[in-house]
Structure 1
Amino acid sequence: MGCAGSTDKSDDGAPKKLKRPKPWKHSEPLTQTQLKKMREEFWDTAPHYGGKEEIWDALRAAAEAQLDLAQAIVDSAGIIVTSEDMTVCYDERGAKYELPKYVLSEPVNMIKDD
C-alpha cells in the first residue's frame, strides 16, 4: 500500500529523521495571533496548490505534532520527505508539497500579543 520507506535515505542508507526547522526570522515581528491567522490561511488554501487533500491533512497533522508523532504520521501516509524540516515533501505519485516555515515553527522575532 505504501512505499517501502517514506523518507529519502541518508548517505548511510538509513531513513532521514525529521528535525525541527532552523531558526528563521519573519520580515517583520509577528504576534502569536498573526502567526495563527497566517497558518489558518495557508491550511485553508493548501489543497488548491495541487496534490491530494488527505496528504495535506497528514502534513498539517505532522506540522502540528511533536517530532516523534510527526515522523509516524509522514511514514504511515507514505509521504516522501526530501528536506528534514518538512519544507519539501512528495506523495507516492510524485506530487510536490511545499510548506512555508511559518507553519512548521515560530520565528525568532515573535512578539507578545497586546
Structure 2
Amino acid sequence: MGSFLSCACLSAVNSDGHRKKLKKSKPWKHPQPITKSDLKQMRDEFWDTAPHYGGKREIWDALRAASEAELSLAQLIVDSAGIIVTSDDLSTCYDERGAKYDLPQYVLSDPVNMVKNE
C-alpha cells in the first residue's frame, strides 16, 4: 500500500513541486470526415484491444474512465489509481511498476472535422 501512496503523490506533483493539472487535448483532424458512430467504433476497438499490449487491466479501465470524464473527475481518477501522467492530456502515462500506456488522440477528444451521422 505504501508504494501506491507514493505513486499517487508523484502523479499529482510536477518537478516544480506544484500540483500537475490535466489539460484539455489539443484539436486534431481525422484524415477524412468521420461520424460520431465511426469514432465510437474506433474507440471501442482501442479499449477492447489495449490490455493485450501490456500493462494492467485496472489501469486501462481507469484511463478509459478518465478519458471519458470531465477534467476535474479525470484528475481524481488518475490520482486515485496511482497513474503517473507525463503528458498534459493523458496521451502518455505510466503505472507504479513503470509500464507505459499510450493513448491515441482519438480516444481523448473529438476531431474538428466530425460530421453528423446519416
TM-score range, shorter chain: over 0.9
Q: How does 1:52-91 map to 2 (within 5 A)?
A: 52-91=56-95
The structure with more helix, counted as a fraction of residues = 2
Q: Which runs of 5+ in 1 are unaligned?
A: none
TM-score, length-scaled by structure 1: 0.94
Q: Which residue in 1 is equivalent to 2:16?
A: 12
TM-score, length-scaled by structure 2: 0.91
Q: Given that residues 11 and 20 in structure 2 are in contact (C-alpha distance below 8 angstroms), is that contact kept between their aligned partners in structure 1? A: yes
The residue type paired with residue 58 of structure 1 is A
Residue 45 (structure 2) aligned to one of 41, 46, 49: 41
The residue type paired with residue 61 of structure 2 is D
Deviating runs (4+, > 3 A) in structure 1? 8-11
The residue type paired with residue 77 of structure 1 is A
Q: Which runs of 5+ in 2 are unaligned?
A: none
Identity rate of aligned residues, in percent?
69
Q: How many residues align?
A: 114
